[in-house]
Amino acid sequence: MKIMIRWGVLALAVWAATALIPGIKVHGGAWDYLWVALIFSVINTFLGSFLKLMTLPAVILTAGLFLIIINAAMLELTARWSSALTITSFWSAIFASVIISVVSGIGQRITAKQNWR
Protein backbone atom coordinates (compact mmCIF):
# COMPACT_ATOMS: atom_id res chain seq x y z
CA MET A 1 0.00 0.00 0.00
CA LYS A 2 2.83 2.40 0.81
CA ILE A 3 4.37 2.02 -2.62
CA MET A 4 1.05 2.93 -4.27
CA ILE A 5 0.80 6.03 -2.11
CA ARG A 6 4.38 7.04 -2.98
CA TRP A 7 3.60 6.48 -6.63
CA GLY A 8 0.52 8.72 -6.35
CA VAL A 9 2.50 11.40 -4.53
CA LEU A 10 5.15 11.35 -7.26
CA ALA A 11 2.44 11.63 -9.94
CA LEU A 12 1.04 14.62 -8.05
CA ALA A 13 4.52 16.14 -7.92
CA VAL A 14 4.93 15.68 -11.68
CA TRP A 15 1.54 17.33 -12.17
CA ALA A 16 2.64 20.28 -10.00
CA ALA A 17 5.81 20.64 -12.06
CA THR A 18 3.86 20.66 -15.32
CA ALA A 19 1.44 23.21 -13.89
CA LEU A 20 4.20 25.57 -12.70
CA ILE A 21 6.99 25.16 -15.29
CA PRO A 22 6.12 26.15 -18.87
CA GLY A 23 8.80 23.99 -20.50
CA ILE A 24 7.53 20.62 -19.26
CA LYS A 25 4.35 18.90 -20.41
CA VAL A 26 2.67 15.54 -19.95
CA HIS A 27 0.49 14.61 -22.91
CA GLY A 28 -2.66 12.94 -21.66
CA GLY A 29 -4.54 12.52 -18.44
CA ALA A 30 -4.08 11.01 -15.01
CA TRP A 31 -2.90 7.64 -16.34
CA ASP A 32 -0.10 9.35 -18.23
CA TYR A 33 1.01 11.18 -15.08
CA LEU A 34 1.07 7.83 -13.27
CA TRP A 35 3.03 6.29 -16.16
CA VAL A 36 5.61 9.10 -16.13
CA ALA A 37 5.89 8.82 -12.33
CA LEU A 38 6.46 5.08 -12.63
CA ILE A 39 9.18 5.45 -15.26
CA PHE A 40 10.83 8.28 -13.33
CA SER A 41 10.83 6.30 -10.09
CA VAL A 42 12.33 3.20 -11.74
CA ILE A 43 15.03 5.24 -13.49
CA ASN A 44 15.77 7.22 -10.34
CA THR A 45 15.89 4.10 -8.18
CA PHE A 46 18.40 2.23 -10.27
CA LEU A 47 20.39 4.68 -12.35
CA GLY A 48 19.91 7.68 -10.06
CA SER A 49 21.18 5.82 -7.02
CA PHE A 50 24.28 4.70 -8.94
CA LEU A 51 24.95 8.25 -10.22
CA LYS A 52 24.50 9.74 -6.75
CA LEU A 53 27.02 7.29 -5.38
CA MET A 54 29.52 7.92 -8.19
CA THR A 55 29.23 11.72 -7.90
CA LEU A 56 29.35 11.81 -4.10
CA PRO A 57 32.41 14.13 -4.03
CA ALA A 58 30.60 16.66 -6.25
CA VAL A 59 27.50 16.40 -4.07
CA ILE A 60 29.57 17.04 -0.95
CA LEU A 61 31.46 19.96 -2.52
CA THR A 62 28.23 21.64 -3.62
CA ALA A 63 26.42 20.94 -0.34
CA GLY A 64 23.90 18.76 -2.13
CA LEU A 65 23.05 21.13 -4.98
CA PHE A 66 24.51 18.71 -7.52
CA LEU A 67 21.61 16.37 -6.69
CA ILE A 68 19.35 18.80 -8.55
CA ILE A 69 21.43 18.28 -11.69
CA ILE A 70 21.26 14.50 -11.28
CA ASN A 71 17.48 14.60 -10.79
CA ALA A 72 17.12 16.85 -13.84
CA ALA A 73 19.15 14.36 -15.88
CA MET A 74 16.91 11.52 -14.66
CA LEU A 75 13.88 13.59 -15.67
CA GLU A 76 15.37 14.18 -19.13
CA LEU A 77 15.98 10.45 -19.45
CA THR A 78 12.37 9.81 -18.47
CA ALA A 79 11.25 12.19 -21.21
CA ARG A 80 13.43 10.35 -23.70
CA TRP A 81 12.00 6.95 -22.76
CA SER A 82 8.36 8.05 -22.53
CA SER A 83 6.33 9.62 -25.28
CA ALA A 84 3.97 11.08 -22.68
CA LEU A 85 6.54 13.57 -21.30
CA THR A 86 8.08 16.49 -23.18
CA ILE A 87 10.78 18.77 -21.81
CA THR A 88 11.88 21.72 -23.94
CA SER A 89 15.14 22.67 -22.20
CA PHE A 90 17.50 21.50 -19.52
CA TRP A 91 16.61 24.56 -17.42
CA SER A 92 12.98 23.43 -17.46
CA ALA A 93 14.16 20.02 -16.24
CA ILE A 94 16.18 21.66 -13.45
CA PHE A 95 13.26 23.77 -12.24
CA ALA A 96 10.90 20.80 -12.58
CA SER A 97 13.26 18.60 -10.56
CA VAL A 98 13.21 21.18 -7.77
CA ILE A 99 9.40 21.30 -7.82
CA ILE A 100 9.14 17.49 -7.91
CA SER A 101 11.60 17.17 -5.02
CA VAL A 102 9.77 19.72 -2.87
CA VAL A 103 6.25 18.44 -3.56
CA SER A 104 7.17 14.77 -3.17
CA GLY A 105 9.10 15.56 0.01
CA ILE A 106 6.10 17.33 1.50
CA GLY A 107 3.81 14.51 0.36
CA GLN A 108 6.07 11.87 1.86
CA ARG A 109 6.14 13.67 5.20
CA ILE A 110 2.36 13.98 5.24
CA THR A 111 1.76 10.35 4.32
CA ALA A 112 4.46 9.08 6.69
CA LYS A 113 2.42 10.36 9.64
CA GLN A 114 -0.58 8.27 8.54
CA ASN A 115 -0.96 4.67 9.58
CA TRP A 116 -1.36 3.01 6.17
CA ARG A 117 -1.70 -0.75 6.12
Domain ranges of the chain: 2-112
DSSP 28: S
Angle at 97 between CA 96 and CA 98, to 5 degrees: 90
pLDDT at 18: 96
Do 38 and 14 touch, CB atoms closer than 8 A? no
pLDDT at 113: 74
pLDDT in single tens digits along all 117 residues of the chain:
788 999 999 999 999 999 999 999 999 999 999 999 999 999 999 999 999 999 999 999 999 999 999 999 999 999 999 999 999 999 999 999 999 999 999 998 888 877 655
Helix H or strand E segment including 66? helix 66-81
Helix H or strand E segment including 85? strand 85-87
Do 86 and 51 touch, CB atoms closer than 8 A? no
